Amino acid sequence: MKKTALILPLLLAAALLPCRAQLSVALHGGATLPQGFYADSRMSDNEWMLAEGHQHKAGAGRGWSAGIDIAYAIPALPDLEALLSASFMQSPVADDVQEYYNLKFTQRYRSCPYYEMQLPSYRNIPILLGIRYGYPLGGIFRFYGEALAGLNIRMITDWTMAYSAPGWPQGTQSTLDDYSNTDLRTYSRATTFAFRLGAGFLIKDIAKCPLDFRLGASYNILGAAPLSWDRTTATRYSLLGSITEYTDTKHVDYTDINPTLISIELGISIKPFGASRNVQDW
């Protein structure tokens, strides 16, 4: 209660500061293009790092991003802004990885009445601080450059494979009455140092429109960290009316994964009420 009593007045005072008109909020979204080993898969050589024994090649495919920027226009330097940015970036595995494993899984278990596979996807949440400089080009157009650094939270969704069949395997002396198997890989999370360099164009003050626009590209190096996972296999079968179930878990420590990607984004900024035309709204 005492902490709340202290925090609330501070928040109220911050909200009433005159500098509030120098803050602006922008929403942005667009496409992501993985680069280097983060994009490489080479499934013709069966090389993919999320399967044991295939180092470095993460096989990330083209994805999307969305996020929010909060900018503070520095009064003494009207073309320069301090920037806080948070984004969510998701990349599925590359097309050749999907084709390879979908075909392999289907060929192996297509005789089963039930089979399902869900391949993993990559998710990154960079939270960055930095600066953005806007250079006037005349009229409503500006060229900008930005540099930011901070933390990235890396996540990989589960890889799940499951199938079941009555009377499997067929044609053997020990034919089972029923058989089912689930293979689950749960990947580690990591927090790493990350940075972003970007450039593009700002479109501002369009016929007194309350919105400004940004179109730009950035190069994101989100930080290398070791990859590990737990592989859990659950099996259930029945033979002559007797049901057997067992589960086996194996932990795998692996090489580093370094998410590196180019993002191409469109941003929409809401200009603060009461801000002057000399204050940068991005």
Q: How far apart are alpha carbons 230 and 152 in whole angstroms?
A: 22
- The answer on pLDDT for 275 being more than 70 is no
Of 30, 28, 37, the closest CA to residue 260 belongs to 37
Q: What angle do CA 190, 216, 150 make, to 5 degrees?
A: 30
The whole-number average pLDDT for the span 168-188 is 71
According to the model, what pLDDT value does residue 144 have? 94
Residue the block writes with tokens 């250079």? 135
The Cβ-side half-sphere exposure at 202, using a 13 Å CA radius, reads 24
**Residue 54 confidence class, pLDDT cut points 50, 70, 90:** low
- The answer on pLDDT for 184 being more than 80 is yes
- In terms of average pLDDT, the best of 72-86, 189-203, 222-236 is 189-203
Report helix, strand or coil for 111. Answer: coil
Of 154, 152, 244, 227, the closest CA to residue 185 belongs to 227
CB atoms within 10 A of CB 229: 21
Please state, for a pLDDT cut of 70, what percent of the chain lies above it: 78
pLDDT tens, residue by residue, 139-168: 889 999 999 999 999 999 999 988 877 765
> CB–CB of 162/210 below 8 Å?
no
Least confident of 26-30, 87-91, 211-215: 211-215
Report helix, strand or coil for 282. Answer: coil
pLDDT tens, residue by residue, 6-20: 443 444 344 434 454
Q: How far apart are alpha carbons 137 and 119 in whole angstroms?
A: 46
pLDDT tens, residue by residue, 93-143: 888 888 888 887 777 777 777 778 888 999 999 999 999 998 989 888 999
pTM: 0.80
244/260: higher pLDDT: 260
Q: Which residues are CB-contacts of 32 (< 8 A; sequence separation ≥ 6)?
A: 62, 63, 64, 65, 89, 90, 91, 261, 262, 263, 264
